[in-house]
Structures are given as structure tokens and as C-alpha cells.
Amino acid sequence: MRSLAGRMLMASGLLVGLLLGVGWALVALLGAPLWFPMAFAIGFVLLQYAVSPWFIRWLITAQELQRSGDGYLGGHPLGDLVARRSRDAGVPLPRLGIIDDGTPNAFAFGRTPSSAHVWVSRGLLERLDEDELDAVISHELGHVKHWDMVIMTVAAVVPMALYMLFVMARRFDRPEARAVALGSYVAYLVGQLAVLAVSRARELAADDWSRRCTGHGDALASALVKIAYGIGQVDADRAGQNEGEGEKKKGFMSRLRGQGDEGRMGAAQVLGIMSSRDGRQLHALLADNAEDSAAAVAGLRWDRTNPWARVREMLSTHPLVATRLEMLGRPGPGASTRWAGVAEAAVGTPDEVRRARSRFGVELVVALAPWAVMIPAFAAWYLIEEASLVPWALLVGGILLFAKQRMRYPFGYRPVERITSLLERLDAGPVAGLPVQVRGRIMGRGMPGYVLSPDMVVSDDSGFVPLIYTNPIPFAAEFFGLFRFNNFLGREVVTRGWYFRDAGGPRIELRDVSLEESAGRVRGWDWVVRHGFALTVFAIGVLAVLATTTA
């Protein structure tokens, strides 16, 4: 825990340092008051802090279990587990809700431990065994125990204040004001990275509490792998095996499923998405399923082989699964004995590492080149009023943007026989899309229970993967989530799109998804707009160059 506290203190110190440095420049160079941006930032974040629990309850529907004293009414097995682990964590009994959605997820929210909520999806209950569910619940209560809601609220004040300093500095029509404004915006971006670092540290701290509380770090590790990579099977198999063993031996999940609507609890196959040369050693890790074990290693191999994994981790609220398994294996109560070693061994061959680094270099250049051309030209225009480079920067930048979109959205969609095979693609990343066609059933939303979520999750016999629906028209995505999503839920579909991978896990950005048995289709439009934007920048650049050369 000391190293985790150190990470959090370093990130917090960076936030304070950024605020003091930019605030001094604003006061000393421009004579502007510092109290206004601070007051606005604090007021805005406090308002968000006050209304967010109500807002989440409104947007993410869940069936809430009624509390009574130090437990929940009805003898619900999940309620018994949450009540027991709340006592272990020394926190008040949280409000507990079950989201009717097949996508596995759980999260905690609230203002303080006394107003905490823990929301758990049906998909999580269907896919985890008793020890894994115990570990995940303990992790969520770890967030409550550590007052994470307050910590993140305080951390969010600094980037908001830095952004307000940027807005204020822009109002002064002086050269030094432009420099302060630019510095404020850079500090704001760095501040956002620091907040993400605080968020990752709190996730690791909650993981540490879970392993210490349960004494079973391997259970949390297994749950993380299943949730992130979609590995394992719906509990229907275990429930079926347990039916003949008597009420006493039926097991936690079988009893839990009996509490709800059997039609809704019936279910979706899980995700299995990885493979590796080390798969033979892991046969017993996931329900004695060698295929799932191999899939788990494939997912971890991407985390430890592709350079994009570490880069994107810096831009994520959650650490990589491999990072979390490494922490769970460190000496201490409940340390993982199996999965930490698996994560350590799941590395590509030297040739695979070399190819991954080479691809990373090319993709990084393609991703940054348009902005490396255009940003300095516009910065010179803004800081020293030198605009001669802007036309050429737009022309060249437009060409580079178009090349970037062609790398991101290639054509030639290849059918995928098993969704789990996608995790074997070490060449996947966040920049270069892999065109794929997937058949399966829509099992839930990308964000379980969120009524405006337009993203879908598709499953087949081997696993599932999120489908990201994009539409740049304001509120079009929310309209789809609210009014059209249910037309696809539980239906067999054919999906075309581009497979990406980053720290948040695998995903497919939609080009289109169609119902197999009837008319019904939805298209994603972001790829069209991105190409159009690149061509527009190029066209403006051409016109600007012609205007300057003929003037």
C-alpha cells in the first residue's frame, strides 16, 4: 500500500504544483485575480459531486434491494455477501442494486461512505463463481472504504481551475497573456493526466484491499481476466451440474439465479478471447477449459508485448490487467500465487516484440504527424502573429489526416469464426483498425443499465466484444440508445467494423450492424466524418495557399 500511496501523492503534488505555477504567472504577469477561477472550479465540481449520485441512479436503472438494519431484506445471497464484506471493510451498508443487463460489470458511487451505492449487473452474477464475485464486491467496497469519491472530486478541481485560468488569460490582449494562456492549457492537459494517475492508483488500492480482505488474490485476478477479456462461461453449466447434488450443495450462484426472473437470467455465452504458446500450462486456470486458459494468456500477451498498451494506460482510468495481476502477486496477505506468474510469462517471442515495436513506431508517426505539422503553425500565429505557415500547414496536414483515416478505417472485412480469436491479434491497437465481420447475438449494452448508451455487446459461442456506435450528429447516439437499442437486444446480428485494442480492452467500431432474420440496420458514421474532415482541411489549405501565392 505504501507504493500506491506514493503514486497518489506524486500525482497530487503534480496537480498542486501546476496550479501554483500557472496561478503565479496569472497574478504576477497579468495582474488577474486568482480567486475567480478557483471559486468557479470548486463550485462546479461541488455541484457535480452533489448531483452525480442522483443522476447515475436516474440514468442507470437497477432493481434495488431493500435494507433493514445491518442487512438486506429477502435473504438474497448477493445481499448477504455485501453485508458481510461491508462489516469487514468497516463501512455503512451501501445501497445495493442489480442491473438487468448481460454485460458483466460492477461499480460503486456516492458522495461519502454513508451514501455509497454498489450496482452489480446480471451479467457479472452469471459469469463469476462465488470466490470471484466475493473478490469483486470486496474491490468495490474498497473504493467506499478509501473515500475514493471524495478523492476524485478534490483531484478534479485542479484541471478545472487550470482550464478557467486559460479562459481568463485569453481575455488579455498582450503577448505575455498569450504565453500564459498557452501554458495554462498545457498545464490543464498535464493535470488531466495526473487525475488519471490518481484514478489508476485508487483502483490498485481497491485491488489490494480485496486480496487482503478475502485472502484470495487469485480470485480477483481470475475475475479481472474474465471481465476484461470475457473469459469463462455463463453459470448455467455449473448450475446444471449442481442440480442433482441437493439443496445444500447447490452453490451460491445457483441460489442467486433462483431469486430472479429465470427468463431474464437465462443467458449469454461468455467471452473467451486469447491464446498463447503458454496455454498448455494454464489448463486448470479457468474451469478446466484449456481454450479459455489459452485465451487469457493471449489477452495478457498484448498487454505485455504491444507498446500501445503502456502508452494508452497513461490515458486510462484503470490500469492494464497485466499491471493489476502483477500488483496482486506482490508479497502480502492474499497474494496471488497463480495468475501473477501467468502475467509475467505471457510475453511475445522476440520476433513478435520486434514487429510490435516496429508497427508502433509507424502508427505513432501517422497518428501524430498531422498535429505536429499544424499545431506549431497555429501556435506561431497565436503567439507572434506569424500566419505565413498556416496555409501550407493546412494543406500538408489535410493530406496526413486523410492518410491517418485510411490506416484507421481500411476496407476488406474478413469474417471472424470465433470472437475469442480476435485477442490473438498482437497487431491490434488504437490507431490501425482491423476490418472484421462478426456474427452473434446482442447480449447487452456497453454500459450496463445506462439507458442512453448506444454501444452494444455481441456474443457468440466463444465470447463477446463491445460494438462502439458512433454518430457525430448531436444527440443521435443517445437517440439510438434510448429508442432503437431494444430492437437489437437479444437478436442475432451480422456486424461489420474495425477491431481496435487499447488499455480499455478489445472493441469493434461499427460500420454497420444488421439483423439476420428481419429488416433492421444501423450504421456508424464517424468514419465518414473523419474522412470528410481531412478532405475539408486539405481543401481549405489549397485555397489558402492559392490565395497567398496570387496576392
C-alpha span between 2 and 334 (Å, rounded): 17
CB-CB neighbours of 534 under 10 Å: 21
Q: Which residue has the cell 484507421?
A: 408
Which residues are bridge partners to 416 per DSSP? 438
Residue 508, classed as helix, strand or coil, is strand
Q: Which one-letter amino acid corresponds to residue 528?
A: V
**Which among 243, 370, 357 is positioned nearest to 311, based on CA atoms?**
357
C-alpha span between 464 and 300 (Å, rounded): 17
- Do the beta carbons of residue 219 and residue 139 sit within 8 Å? no
- Do the beta carbons of residue 210 and residue 142 sit within 8 Å? yes
CB-CB neighbours of 55 under 10 Å: 12
Q: Which residue has the cell 472484421?
A: 436
Q: Which one-letter amino acid corresponds to residue 372?
A: A
C-alpha span between 141 and 107 (Å, rounded): 9
- Phi then psi for residue 512, to 5 deg, are -160, 155
Beta-strand pair 67-68/63-65: unpaired
Cα–Cα distances (Å) from 495 to 302, 422, 423, 429, 436, in that order, read 24, 14, 17, 20, 8
- Helix locations, 317-414, DSSP H: 321-328, 339-345, 350-384, 390-408
**Which among 208, 485, 448, 507 is positioned nearest to 328, based on CA atoms?**
208
C-alpha span between 244 and 256 (Å, rounded): 17
Long-range contacts of 52-59 (CB under 8 A, 24+ apart): 52/109, 53/109, 53/110, 53/111, 53/115, 53/117, 56/109, 56/117, 57/117, 59/450, 59/451, 59/452
Q: Which one-letter amino acid corresponds to residue 104?
A: P
Q: Which one-letter amino acid corresponds to residue 497?
A: G
Q: How many CA atoms lie within 13 A of 388 on its CB side?
A: 3
Burial of 495 (0-12, 13-18, 19+ CB in 10 A): buried
Q: Which residues contact 317 (CB under 8 A, 6 or more apart)?
A: 196, 199, 200, 203
- Phi then psi for residue 532, to 5 deg, are -65, -40
CB-CB neighbours of 142 under 10 Å: 25
Residue 60, classed as helix, strand or coil, is strand
C-alpha span between 547 and 435 (Å, rounded): 40
Catalytic residues: 140
C-alpha span between 135 and 88 (Å, rounded): 13
